[in-house]
Structure 1
Amino acid sequence: MQKYLPLLILTIFLSSCGINKKHLKQNLSTSYQLSPGMSKAEVEKIMGQPAKSDFSKNVEEWHYCKTGMGSDEFIALFFYEGNLIEKLNYTVTLADARGATGSCEKFIKMGNYREPSQVLEIRMR
């Protein structure tokens, strides 16, 4: 039993960190294949499931994330009436996240995130 103790401690430590491998390994480089007008199903086939999705005033927003050592990279995709209308790349740095990065869920819409003007116009209608 003692020889397995270090492995048990490591397993407990890693699981307590709240690491979600699905979100940490999202492949953002495939986003070049996206184009306006694509359906949500077409986007999901290319990008996979989003780390988080939101819906506000007729616009659905999907966020994808890739965590890093000093910053986290994000892509926000905006859908109107089920079709892709806009893509936004943004980054969250250590300074933005108050000294801690590595969490897709905690830092969505932080850093240099700015809602695109086309999305703002639709939401203001």
Structure 2
Amino acid sequence: MKVVLSILLIALLHSCGVQQKLSASHKLSPGMTKADVETIMGSPTKSDFRKNVEEWHYCKTGMSADEFLALFFYEGKLIEKLNYTVTLADTRGATGSCEKFIKMGNYREPDIVVEIRMR
């Protein structure tokens, strides 16, 4: 009986999905380093690198939709953040880890990088 309950508990916890704290993204600002961002947001669910731009993705599963945060770094500095949602309708009813619904971008290097320094 204990084995059955243990298996059911593990299955229940496994199905809870990903619960990253996307609300902390308001603390992010352009120019932050990857280390600064990771301190605030934790490790990304998925990352990718294209040319000189690195993408980090965070996600939070929900009952009817998953929430996502995409962060873009150029030369190790945060240059943009993008929030988006994927609903059950978008996935045609498919559920599971939000990692499989991440939208990887075709982000390109910026034409110009402006550095803002606080005095």
Q: What's the TM-score once normalised by structure 1's chain length?
A: 0.77
Amino acid of the residue matched to residue 50 of structure 1? P
What is the CA deviation profile of residues 13-38 of structure 1, one whole-angstrom value per residue up to 9, with x for unaligned ones?
Answer: 447x6x586xx121000000100000
Q: Please say if residues 56 and 123 of structure 1, whose CA atoms lie closer than 8 Å, have aligned partners that are also in contact.
A: no
Matched residue, 1:45: 39
SS state of the match for residue 64, structure 1? Answer: strand
How many residue pairs match? The answer is 111
1:35 is paired with a residue whose SS is coil
Aligned to 2:48: 54
Name the residue aligned to 1:69. 63
- Cα gap change, 1:97/1:8 in structure 2, threshold over 3 Å: closer, same or farther? same
Q: 1:100-123 CA deviation, whole Å, 9 max, x = no partner?
A: 23422210008xxx66xxx43x18
Which residue does the alignment assign to 1:103?
97
User: Unpaired segments of 5 or more residues in structure 2?
Assistant: 112-119
Evaluate the alpha carbon distance shift between residue 61 and residue 5 of structure 1 in structure 2; reply closer, same or farther with a 3 A threshold: same
More helix by share: 1
Q: TM-score if structure 2 supplies the norm length?
A: 0.80
| Structure 2 match to 1:10 | 8
Q: Name 1:90's counterpart in structure 2.
A: 84
Alignment RMSD, CA only? Answer: 2.5
Report sequence identity in percent: 68
Cα distance in 2 for residues equivalent to 1:66 and 1:9: 24
CA distance in 2 between counterparts of 1:80 and 1:69 reads 34
In structure 2, the partner of 1:35 is 29
Alpha-carbon distance in 2 for matches of 1:11, 1:75:
29
